[in-house]
């Protein structure tokens, strides 16, 4: 099937959805789109981050930060010193993994030889 055929099918489906009112109550209707985050993301990561965001999945670095937050709350509630020490070790491990992930992202080279953040 040619790209023109796909384009026609897509346009027809969008028009049908529009006629059914499926676009009437979308969040932000009538407001300008804020694409700052999209365009501030490196080109190589835009599609991946868009897919993750659409699926409600956090990037690995943010997952690690959420884990640290949960562990810190658990540590604050914990009364057993041995368990607190294990939790502190887990917190430290997640922080190291976070730092390494950021470092890896920062040091990934583009195909043109310049530096660009990676996705993992």
- Predicted confidence (pLDDT) per residue in 55-88, tens digit: 888 778 888 999 999 999 999 999 999 999 999 9
| Residue 56, Ramachandran bin (φ over 0: left; ψ between -120 and 50: alpha; else beta) | left
Is pLDDT at 41 greater than 80 in this prediction? no
- Domain ranges, residue 87: 58-120
Rg (CA), the chain: 22
Would you state the pLDDT for residue 93? 96
Would you state the pLDDT for residue 120? 43
Beta bridge partners of 115: 109
Q: By percentage, how much of the chain surpasses pLDDT 90?
A: 38
Number of domains in the chain: 1
Strand, coil or helix: 25: coil
Is pLDDT at 43 greater than 90 in this prediction? no
Q: Averaging pLDDT over each range in 5-9, 40-44, 50-54, which range is the top one?
A: 5-9
DSSP state of 109: B
Give a yes or no: residue 70 inside a domain: yes
Nearest Cα neighbor of 59 from 30, 13, 9, 102 is: 102
The answer to whether the CB of 42 falls within 8 A of the CB of 117 is: yes
* 66 contact partners, CB below 8 Å, separation of at least 6: 58
DSSP state of 108: P
Give a yes or no: residue 12 inside a domain: no
pLDDT (mean) for 18-46: 82
DSSP state of 49: H
């Amino acid at each position: 099937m040619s790209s023109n055929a796909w384009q026609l099918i897509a346009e027809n489906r969008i028009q049908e959805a529009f006629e059914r009112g499926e676009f009437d109550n979308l969040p932000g209707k009538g407001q300008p789109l804020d694409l700052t985050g999209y365009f501030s993301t490196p080109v190589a990561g835009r599609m991946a981050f868009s897919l993750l965001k659409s699926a409600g999945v956090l990037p690995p670095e943010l997952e690690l930060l959420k884990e640290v937050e949960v562990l810190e709350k658990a540590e604050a509630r914990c009364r057993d010193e041995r368990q607190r020490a294990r939790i502190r070790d887990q917190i430290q491990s997640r922080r190291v993994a976070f730092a390494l992930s950021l470092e890896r992202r920062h040091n990934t080279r583009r195909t043109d030889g310049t530096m660009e953040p990676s996705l993992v």
